[in-house]
Amino acid sequence: MLTAGIVLLHLLGIVAAMHAVMHTRTPQGAIGWALGLLLLPYVTLLPYLYLGSSRFLGYRSGHKLRPAALAPTSTNGHAIDPGCARFAAISALQGRPFRGGHRLRLLIDGVAAFDAMLAAMAAAENYLLVQFFIIHDDELGRRLQQLLLQRAAAGVRVCVLFDGIGSHALPQQYVDTLRAGGVAIHRFATHRWRNRFQLNFRNHRKIVVVDGVCAFVGGLNVGDEYLGLKPPLAPWRDTQLELRGPAVADLQQRFAEDWQWITGSLPPMLAPAPGTGEASALIVASGPADELETGSLFFTATINAARERVWLSTPYFVPDHSVRAALQLAVLRGVDVRVLIPARPDHRTVFLASTLHAYHAVRTGIRVFRYQPGFLHQKALLIDHDSAAIGSMNLDSRSFRLNFEISALVVDPAFAGEVETMLTTDFSRAHAIDEREYLDAPYLRRVAMHVARLFDPLL
């Protein structure tokens, strides 16, 4: 029986290795999985079952024929900033145009962001669409819970999505209390049978839509740590964006697609109010159901469009080959390229890999800085003098191809000026990295960095 079991495992390993060769996106990943499955199937079969797939099967096919309620809105006659033209590839990638007429508010850090989001939710009259990667049952989580219950009791339709892995610690009682109070709440899960065993494909999006009038997108989840209340990572540095205008409909659509995947029905939606601002915006959504690697292509295209500067803020600096090459080419064009990363780790393997990538980046002329006051979690991108993006996308493989992500790309000199002021302050609180950070590290720590980099496709 033992011999039969070993033979069976090796046969399954051969079948899984064939699957890996056929379906893994990169040659390096295919080689790694295939060798492991052929030589050590008793060690690698189970991880491959949970981590091996690179596609979220079924999601896209389930949305080939979208209801008319999900159709993109028109530009409503608002002028589009001419600077949007250089991001035409991203617009084509999304299958939708830039829209004009937006009013925007940059919300810096958790207190300002949640004051604005909770106040907007409290004023909801028709419906609330709320989606977070993480919801904790702590003081902030209970504030959100009570507000949602109040609005549901007032007759507002409330729809809530949270990620099943990101919110793994959320007690069932928290969810049951909301359901008993009339809130429609569901966990985003890979519940279709072909994805049932996958730990990848997390829904990392953060979206709040209020009555179709205003929406929020950014890096903040629901938990006391995002208010800077939990050492050793406090104070927590993050950014959120409030939008009013036509792009609110696009955020509604993305929420509706996720909601329909889980529930089979559509959430309530209204057309957004006419835009009264000047900013042009494009909602950029990415995920493992996309035919192309949308996340990586988004960063590559925006960096390649830069002629003056690229300022990036990211908690995880694990660029793939395309993004790394785009950054290096920008330096060669004379672009001011700066990357802001944390000085404190929240995930040590990612931090080690990021440190090695930072070393290689500095050697090619990219300026890399470590933010000192606390943990840096913001995902902000500034291109030249007129363009900026705020959202949930990290600079790592998970955001490039494994997670569902959402960001707003804005072309507006006034808003870009606000982001410039914000990042200038952040850089003033950071220390520049040089090659000595890596070269002066103990030998075993450098070895650990190179070992961590082997896991780039999963970080």
Is 19 noted as a catalytic residue in this protein?
Answer: no
Please tell me whether the overall predicted TM-score, pTM, comes out greater than 0.75 for this model.
yes
- Tens of pLDDT, residues 117-146: 999 999 999 999 999 999 999 999 999 999
**Predicted local confidence at residue 430, as pLDDT:** 98
**Predicted local confidence at residue 272, as pLDDT:** 82
Q: Please count the other Cβ atoms lying within 10 Å of the Cβ belonging to residue 226.
A: 24
Is 230 noted as a catalytic residue in this protein?
Answer: no
Q: Which candidate in 78, 81, 379, 396 is catalytic?
A: 379
Distance of alpha carbon 131 from alpha carbon 30, whole angstroms: 34
Distances (CA, A) of 304 to 241, 297, 307, 310, 381: 24, 10, 8, 10, 13
Domain assignment present for 77: no
258 lies in the same domain as 354 = no
228 lies in the same domain as 375 = no
Distance of alpha carbon 282 from alpha carbon 303, whole angstroms: 16
148 lies in the same domain as 239 = yes
195 lies in the same domain as 225 = yes
Q: Which candidate in 377, 396, 412, 456 is catalytic?
A: 377
Domain assignment present for 448: yes
250 lies in the same domain as 322 = no
Closest CA to 290 of 19, 55, 29, 51: 55
Q: Which is it for the CA torsion 108, 85, 254, 73, positive or negative?
A: positive
Total number of domains in the chain: 3
Query: What is the C-alpha end-to-end distance of the chain, expressed in Å?
Result: 38
> Which residues pair with residue 162 across a beta bridge?
132, 187
Domain assignment present for 213: yes
**Predicted local confidence at residue 54, as pLDDT:** 57
179 lies in the same domain as 260 = yes
Is 211 noted as a catalytic residue in this protein?
Answer: yes
Is 290 noted as a catalytic residue in this protein?
Answer: no
Ranges of residues in the chain whose predicted pLDDT is under 70:
23-29, 33, 42, 49-77, 190-199, 458-459
Q: Please count the other Cβ atoms lying within 10 Å of the Cβ belonging to residue 127.
A: 19
Amino acid at 386: D
271 lies in the same domain as 385 = no
239 lies in the same domain as 302 = no
Q: Which candidate in 81, 163, 290, 384 is catalytic?
A: 384
Write out the residue range of the structural domain in which residue 182 sits: 61-66+105-278
User: Which residue, chain included where needed, has tokens 């079969």?
Assistant: 45
Is the distance from CB of 356 to CB of 450 less than 8 angstroms?
Answer: yes
Q: Which candidate in 204, 290, 396, 456 is catalytic?
A: 204
270 lies in the same domain as 302 = no
Domain assignment present for 288: no
End residue of a domain, out of 278, 313, 335: 278
313 lies in the same domain as 232 = no
Domain harbouring 250, CATH code: 3.30.870.10
**Predicted local confidence at residue 352, as pLDDT:** 95
Tokens of 248: 């609110």
Is 379 noted as a catalytic residue in this protein?
Answer: yes
100 by DSSP, 3-state: which?
A: strand
Q: Which candidate in 206, 238, 386, 426 is catalytic?
A: 206
Domain assignment present for 432: yes
Tokens of 76: 């409503």
Triad 261, 295, 163: Cα angle to 5°: 40
Q: Which candidate in 163, 211, 290, 320 is catalytic?
A: 211
173 lies in the same domain as 322 = no
Is 347 noted as a catalytic residue in this protein?
Answer: no
125 lies in the same domain as 266 = yes
Tokens of 211: 């009555």
